[in-house]
A and B are shown apart, each in its own frame.
Chain A
Amino acid sequence: MKKIFTLVICLFLLTGCFNYVEINNIVLVSGIGINYINNEYKISFELLDHSKGKSESNVESGILKIGQGKTIPEAFDDISLKLEKEPYLAHLKVVVISEEIAKKHMNDLFDFFLRNNDIRNIFTVVISKNASPEEVLSKTNEYYKVSSERIKSLLDNNIYSNYISKNKYFKNIASNFLSGKKNITLSTIIIDNDELKLGNIGVFNKNKLVDYLSNDEALILSLIDNKKTLSDFKYECEKDKYIIIRAYKSNTNFKIKENIFKIKNNINAEIIENSCNYNLENIKLQKELEKTFEKIINDKVYDLISHLKIINSDILGINNKYYINFKKNKKDYFKNTNYKIETNININKKGLIFEVKNDK
């Protein structure tokens, strides 16, 4: 009986209420901006303001609070001095980092966010390219009163050209960053004509931002890296006349050998524009079209891999694949090894319009 009594007492006294908090006493942090200026971290919190009376409906708006410090925790402490309520970080959606952070201080960033228990690791990290994170986080419009939610929506809904950035949460990035299986990529955000816009994809070599991918390269990366993809490719048959295909399914195989690696793409595509008026019922023509597009895509993949080899950024995880195959580490395998690209396209959805003016 004594034992049970002690157990029950321990249960209530040692565990209870330790993280009890009333929602009146917290303020939600939706976005964090991290900048590095004059040897100091400059951190901005975008807080969700929910105070009554501002508007009839409960549309929240963002408020920016900025703090500075030699380290990230110091800067966090500095902000908390300016807050009336306890900042609640579990609803964090976006962390915007400056190029400076991406180039030099990624280790500090990962260290802080991974050690902090208050932050859930399902937020997105983006690089602010031509503006400071504070500026990005203060860009709101009448539809989106909260900038971080706007950035999240931009990333989530831009599936055509930026599939690669979708659902890339901090936990996935951190996992690749820490394990070293792949070099990481991060989406960028820019301010264009006073509006927020998604920029090129930033590519890392280990913990440093080394270069950006062009939109075409991002498209190809999305094709190789994702099974689910929606990438468009065009072929100019005459001046200003195009036939455009959309790859809606792609399957990529990597074959790793000691002195060469092969990338084999099997793509299913559909025709979405035929201003060249090709007769799509003609099987011979279709085969020719497939070959043409295979060459186009092959060239693009070739360009991408050469670019990545130059900056030595193994974002496809080729080095790790080599390790899995041969059970030994070869640090510069991706950089120094030759490669071969093979693409198979199957245009199996030709649309419903078959009537053509001429049979070319």
Chain B
Amino acid sequence: MVNKITGIYKGNPDLIIKKINNTYTIIYFESICSSDKINEFINKSIIYKNKITAPHMLKITIKETEKYLNNAFALIIKNNTDIYAAEVKADLYRSIDSPETEPSINGPKDALTENIQLNLGLIKRRIKTKNLKIINKTIGKYTNTLVQTLYIENNQNKNEIDYILKKLDNIKLLDVLDSSNISNSLQKEMKSIFPTIITSERPDVISSAIIEGKIVILVDNSPFALIMPAYFTDFINPLIDKYSKEGPTNFIKIIRYICLIITLVEPAFYIATINYNQETIPTSLLINFMTQREGVPFPSVVEAILMLIIYEILRESDIRFPSKYGTAISILGALILGDAAVKAGIVSPIMIITIAICFISSLVFTNPEFSNALRLYRFLFLFGATILGLYGIILVLFYLLINLCSTYSINKPYTIPIAPFKRKYFFKYIWRKSKK
């Protein structure tokens, strides 16, 4: 039997075969199992008591050995005929950290990790009810990743739950290494470039979503959970807003919507007014613009596109580069782009201000997919403004509205709670108003 198993795992140098005595042989993968646990529980009991007293012990057949060995079980072979499997998982996970992508001043400071059970524990610590349903599925031909669907069933979300479970069953992937694999497969049918699933690493946000009737998907080895359905406003107003007071939060919500408008249309609006509607700019400001533009060889559109692309490159390199080099990039960005480009006469200072305001506004939106969608529309608006001026901006705006209105997140309109109007959701997320 031992020879048979070692024959199957020939190419695995981390497979350890320990012959304890004439009766017992232990086989396990050194890379995923804890040698301490094996010595402590299994070795000791065999040597001193001549019997196995390991926790979670099962008797398995030879066909099941692959499944158990790969899931950090040690196989104990007795008399070269019986196979027992005992769980001796090594602790390969990092501890609970604070959230990096969704930081907040107040509210809990724990974040999901790569361990799905730990993640589930973080959620269950918050939702203590029997109504919390968890459905396990294994997806991925090679990875066999555990995917858990969490929800509290109510009258409203019954259809959505069935829809998602059906979709999960139909996912055929070779590997599921992160929740984004599942997210992409679920969003495949939706042609819109706006994300229809929220990703979150905050257990408090996830718990609040579950309580609200949304559906959450946890994926093993991924510190991000998927929350569905997600509407357009959810990407503008984070769910952690509820930890702050009502009045200031509403003010910040207004600021966020202003940021959305600025980041989408500001460069386009600048191009449209400066090239088509100069009469709308106050005379002294226009004179300033003219003075600054003097000597710049490119049309303002080329200038804008050039700056937008440079900033996109800067941003991308900032994300990809190790954070220790971040200072180098900021010095390079600030000095080269901010000052030298103006002095060299490649761009005008006002264009740098315009693009900088646009980018600062875009940093309000943390969801990378949402930012990508905004980025694409920013270029579309610029294109419209270049060809048709303010009229072009309005045309692209219509296109954006049509796109938003025809987007669905799990059979629900993306524009909820405005169209169709959902009073409860509206006063919870768009304009907070507590019940009297």
Q: Which residues in A have some Cβ–Cβ distance to B below 8 Å?
A: 11-12, 15-17, 19-24, 26, 28, 30, 48, 50-52, 58, 60, 88, 90-91, 93, 120
Check B278 against A52 for contact (C-beta < 8 Å).
Answer: no
- A15-B388 contact, Cβ under 8 Å, with A20-B276, A120-B279: yes
Chain B neighbourhood of A48, CB < 8 A: 283, 287
A93 to B286, CA, bound (A): 14
Measuring CB to CB, which residues of chain B are less than 8 angstroms from any residue of chain A? 274-276, 278-279, 283-284, 286-291, 293-296, 299-300, 387-389, 391-392, 395
Contact pick for B283, options A19, A21, A30, CB 8 Å: A30
Q: Write the nearest CB–CB distance from B299 to chain A, whole angstroms.
A: 6
CB <8 Å contact, B278 and A90 = yes
Chain B residues near A15: list those with CB within 8 A.
388, 391
Query: Which of B287, B299, B387 is within 8 Å of A12, CB to CB?
Result: B387
Q: When A15-B388, A15-B391, A91-B283 are in contact, do A24 and B275 touch as well, CB less than 8 Å?
A: no
In the complex, are the beta carbons of B293 and A24 less than 8 A apart? Answer: yes
Closest to A91 in B: B283
List the 3 shortest-distance A-B pairs measured between CB atoms, nearest first.
A90-B279, A16-B387, A50-B291
* Dominant secondary structure at the B interface: helix
Cα–Cα, bound, A150→B299 (Å): 33
Residue of A17, A19, A50, A120 near B290 (CB, 8 A) is A50
Contact status of A52 and B291, CB under 8 A, knowing A90-B278, A120-B279: yes
Cβ of A58: which chain B residues have Cβ within 8 Å of it? 287-288, 291
User: A24 contacts which of B276, B279, B290 (Cβ < 8 Å)?
Assistant: B290
A52 cross-chain contacts in B, Cβ below 8 A: 291, 294-295
B290 surroundings in chain A (CB, below 8 A): 23-24, 26, 28, 50
> Would A21 and B278 be within 8 Å (CB), given that A15-B391, A58-B287, A91-B283 are in contact?
yes
Residues of B within 8 A of A91 (CB): 278-279, 283, 286
Q: For B392, give the chain A residue with the smallest CB separation.
A: A16
Q: Provide the bound-state CA to CA distance between A91 and B286, in Å.
A: 10
Task: With both chains docked as a complex, state the minimum distance between the C-beta of B102 and any C-beta of chain A, in angstroms.
Answer: 41
Which residue in chain B gives the minimum CB-CB distance to A93?
B283
Could you tell me the distance in whole angstroms from the C-beta of B274 to the nearest C-beta in chain A?
6
Chain A residues with CB under 8 Å of B284's CB are 60
CA distance A19 to B278 in the complex (A): 11
- Let me know if A22 and B275 touch, CB within 8 A: yes
Whether B276 and A19, one on each chain, are in contact in the complex, defined by CB atoms closer than 8 angstroms, is: yes
Minimum CB–CB distance for A193 against chain B, Å: 29
Closest to B288 in A: A58
Across the interface, do A50 and B287 meet the contact criterion of CB distance under 8 Å?
yes
**Alpha-carbon distance between A347 and B295 when the two chains are bound, in angstroms:** 63
Residue of A with least CB distance to B276: A19
21 contacts between A and B (CB under 8 A): A12-B387, A16-B387, A16-B388, A17-B387, A21-B276, A21-B278, A22-B293, A23-B278, A23-B286, A23-B289, A24-B290, A26-B290, A28-B283, A48-B287, A50-B287, A50-B291, A51-B294, A52-B295, A88-B278, A90-B278, A91-B283
A54 shortest CB reach to chain B, Å: 10
Q: Give the residue of B286, B293, B296, B387 whose beta carbon is less than 8 angstroms from that of A28.
A: B286
> Is B275 in contact with A28, judged by CB distance below 8 angstroms?
no
The interface residues of chain B lying within 8 Å CB-to-CB of A120 are 279
Tell me the complex Cα distance, A179–B275, Å.
36
Q: Is the CB of B287 within 8 A of A60?
A: yes
State A28–B291 Cα separation when bound (angstroms).
12
Q: How many angstroms between the C-alpha atoms of A119 and B291 in the bound complex?
A: 23
Beta-carbon nearest neighbor of B299 in chain A? A22
- Docked CA distance A28–B283 (Å): 8
Distance of A24 Cα from B300 Cα, bound (Å): 10
B113 CB → nearest A CB, Å: 50
Q: For residue B273, give the distance in angstroms from its CB to the closest CB of chain A.
A: 10
Name the distance in Å between B395's Cβ and chain A's nearest Cβ: 8
Residues on A with beta carbons closer than 8 Å to the beta carbon of B283:
28, 30, 48, 91, 93
Collect the chain A residues with CB atoms within 8 Å of residue B299's CB: 22
Enumerate chain A residues within 8 angstroms of B289, measured Cβ to Cβ. Answer: 23
How many angstroms from the CA of A91 to the CA of B281 in the assembled complex? Answer: 9
**Cα distance, A107 to B59, chains bound together (Å):** 109
**Residues in A neighbouring B278, C-beta threshold 8 A:** 21, 23, 26, 88, 90-91
A15, A30, A120: most-surrounded residue (chain B CB, <10 A): A15
Please give the distance in Å from B344's CB to the nearest CB on chain A.
Answer: 15
Chain B's closest residue to A60 (CB) is B287
| Interchain CA distance A19-B388 in the complex, whole Å | 9
Q: Are B274 and A23 in contact (CB under 8 A)?
A: yes
Chain A residues, Cβ within 8 Å of B300: 22-23
Cα distance, A11 to B396, chains bound together (Å): 13
Q: Which residue of B lies closest to A48 (CB)?
A: B287
| Alpha-carbon distance between A11 and B395 when the two chains are bound, in angstroms | 10
Report Cα–Cα, A221/B219, bound state, in Å: 82
Q: How far is the CA of A28 from the CA of B276 in the complex (A)?
A: 15
**Residue of A at shortest CB range from B300?**
A22
Chain A residues lying within 8 Å of B295, measured Cβ to Cβ, are 52
* Contacts beyond the supplied A22-B293, A23-B290, A51-B291: 7 A-B pairs with Cβ under 8 Å: A20-B275, A23-B289, A26-B278, A28-B290, A52-B294, A60-B287, A91-B278
Q: Which residues of A contact B287 (CB under 8 A)?
A: 28, 48, 50, 58, 60
The chain A residue sitting closest to B395, CB to CB, is A11
Chain B residue with Cβ nearest A90: B279
Residue with the highest number of chain B CB atoms closer than 10 Å, among A23, A60, A91: A23
**In the assembled complex, which residues on chain B have CB atoms less than 8 Å from the CB atom of A51?**
291, 294
Contacts of B279 in A (CB 8 A): 90-91, 120
Assembled-state Cα–Cα distance A212/B364 (Å): 62
Assembled-state Cα–Cα distance A93/B279 (Å):
12
Q: How far is the CB of A52 from chain B (nearest CB, A)?
A: 5
- The smallest C-beta distance from A270 to any residue of chain B, in angstroms, reads 36
A54 to B294 Cα, complex, angstroms: 13
Q: A23 near B293 (CB under 8 angstroms)?
A: yes
- Minimum C-beta distance from B298 to chain A (A): 10
Complex Cα gap A26–B167 (Å): 60
CB distance from A28 to the nearest CB of B (A): 7
Q: Name the A residues within 8 Å of B274 (CB-CB).
A: 23
CB-CB nearest in chain B for A49: B287
Q: Which residues of A contact B294 (CB under 8 A)?
A: 24, 50-52
Considering only CB atoms, which chain B residue lies closest to A12 in the complex?
Answer: B387
**Which residues on the B side are within 8 Å of A22 (C-beta)?**
275, 293, 299-300
For residue A168, give the distance in angstroms from its CB to the closest CB of chain B.
Answer: 19
Which residue on B lies nearest to A20, using beta carbons? Answer: B275
Contact residues in B for A60 (Cβ distance below 8 Å): 284, 287
Q: Which residues of B contact A28 (CB under 8 A)?
A: 283, 286-287, 290
In chain B, what residue has the closest Cβ to A21? Answer: B275
| Contact partners of A30 in chain B: CB under 8 A | 283
Q: How far is the CB of A16 from chain B (nearest CB, A)?
A: 4
